[in-house]
Amino acid sequence: MSAQTFYLTTAIDYTNGAPHIGHAYEKVLADTLVRYQRLRGRSAYLLTGVDQHGQKVQQSAAKVGQTPRAFAEEKTALFVALYRKLGVSHDGWAATTDPRHVRAVQVALQRLFDAGQIYKGAYEGFYSVRQEQFLTDKERNAEGEFGPEWGEVVQLREENYYFKLREHRDWLIEYISANPGFITPPYRAADVLHAAQKISEDLCISRPKTRLDWGIELPFDRDYVTFVWFDALMNYVTFAGWADGADGVKAEPALPEFERLWPADAQIIGKDILVPAHGIYWPIMLHALGFSDAQIPRLLVHGWWNVKGEKMSKSLGNVIDPDVLSTTYGVGALRYFLMRDIATGADADFSEERLISRFNADLANGLGNLLNRALNMALRYRGSVLSRGGPAAEAEEIRLVRDAALTAVDRYQEAMEAKLPHAALEALWGIVNAANGLVESAAPFKLAKLTDDAAAQQRLDAVLYALAECLRIVSLLIEPVLPTEAAGMRAQLGLSAPAPGEDVLPLCEWGGLPEGHKLNAPVPLFPRIEVPKA
Residues in the site for ligand MSP, rule: CB under 6 A? 11-14, 22-23, 25-26, 51, 232-233, 235, 269-270, 272-273, 304-305, 312
Cβ of residue 74: shortest distance to ligand MSP, in angstroms?
A: 16
In the complex with ligand MSP, the residue whose CB is nearer, 199 or 232, is: 232
Cβ of residue 11: shortest distance to ligand MSP, in angstroms?
A: 3
CB neighbour class for 430 (10 Å; exposed up to 12, middle 13-18, buried from 19): middle
Q: DSSP characters for 306-333?
A: EETTB---TTTT----HHHHHHHH-HHH
3-state secondary structure of 275: helix
Q: Which residue minimizes CB distance to ligand MSP? A: 270
Would you give the distance in Å from CA 206 to the centre of its chain?
Answer: 31
In the complex with ligand MSP, the residue whose CB is nearer, 79 or 526, is: 79
Cβ of residue 240: shortest distance to ligand MSP, in angstroms?
A: 13
- Helix segments in 341-393, DSSP class H: 352-358, 369-382
Cβ of residue 20: shortest distance to ligand MSP, in angstroms?
A: 7
CA angle 360/362/366 to nearest 5° reads 95
Would you give the distance in Å from CA 308 to the centre of its chain?
Answer: 23
Cβ of residue 233: shortest distance to ligand MSP, in angstroms?
A: 5
Under DSSP, the state recorded for 532 is P
Cβ of residue 401: shortest distance to ligand MSP, in angstroms?
A: 37
Cβ of residue 183: shortest distance to ligand MSP, in angstroms?
A: 14
Cβ of residue 281: shortest distance to ligand MSP, in angstroms?
A: 10
**What stretch of H or E contains 471?**
helix 454-477
Q: Max alpha carbon distance in the chain (Å)?
A: 97
In the complex with ligand MSP, the residue whose CB is nearer, 47 or 393, is: 47
Cβ of residue 305: shortest distance to ligand MSP, in angstroms?
A: 4
Between CA 76 and CA 170 the distance in angstroms is 39
156: left (phi over 0), alpha (psi -120 to 50) or beta: beta
3-state secondary structure of 335: helix
- Phi, psi of 7, deg, nearest 5: -110, 120
Pairing of strands 206-208, 348-350: unpaired
In the complex with ligand MSP, the residue whose CB is nearer, 269 or 466, is: 269
Spatial CB neighbours of 106, under 8 Å, sequence gap ≥ 6: 216, 217, 218, 219
In the complex with ligand MSP, the residue whose CB is nearer, 26 or 217, is: 26
Between CA 458 and CA 444 the distance in angstroms is 11
Cβ of residue 229: shortest distance to ligand MSP, in angstroms?
A: 7
In the complex with ligand MSP, the residue whose CB is nearer, 52 or 117, is: 52
Cβ of residue 316: shortest distance to ligand MSP, in angstroms?
A: 12
Spatial CB neighbours of 426, under 8 Å, sequence gap ≥ 6: 340, 415
In the complex with ligand MSP, the residue whose CB is nearer, 200 or 315, is: 315
3-state secondary structure of 218: strand
In the complex with ligand MSP, the residue whose CB is nearer, 236 or 465, is: 236
In the complex with ligand MSP, the residue whose CB is nearer, 72 or 464, is: 72
In the complex with ligand MSP, the residue whose CB is nearer, 270 or 332, is: 270
Cβ of residue 406: shortest distance to ligand MSP, in angstroms?
A: 35
Which candidate, 163, 109, 151, 526, places its Cα nearest to that of 359? 526
Sequence letter at residue 476: L
In the complex with ligand MSP, the residue whose CB is nearer, 58 or 235, is: 235
Between CA 387 and CA 461 the distance in angstroms is 6
Which candidate, 424, 508, 444, places its Cα nearest to that of 470? 508
Q: Say if residues 109 and 100 touch (Cβ distance below 8 Å).
A: no
E strands, 171-257, are 183-184, 203-204, 206-208, 217-218, 221-226
In the complex with ligand MSP, the residue whose CB is nearer, 182 or 381, is: 182
